[in-house]
Amino acid sequence: MTTEKDTIINMIKYLPDDASAEDITEAIYVRQKIEKGLEDSRNGNTITHDEAKERLEHWL
């Protein structure tokens, strides 16, 4: 079983050798957000395209 630590170490290995600490932090953050979105999707915690458009109208 792969641990979260192992997954992140493997992810960092694929970053360029000149990746900064900020690049690494951003990669970890993006991965966390993607994993959260996939979990939400698996759990049925989604909204329709029309609902998303309606929510965005309030922000724009």
So where are the chain's domains?
20-59
Helices and strands in the chain, H and E counts: 3, 0
pLDDT given at position 18? 97
For 19-44, what is each residue's pLDDT tens digit? 999 999 999 999 999 999 999 999 99
Rg (CA), the chain: 16
pLDDT at 40: 97
Question: How far apart are alpha carbons 4 and 32 in whole angstroms?
Answer: 10
pTM: 0.74
Residue 58 has pLDDT above 90, yes or no: no
Confidence of residue 16 (pLDDT cuts 50, 70, 90): very high
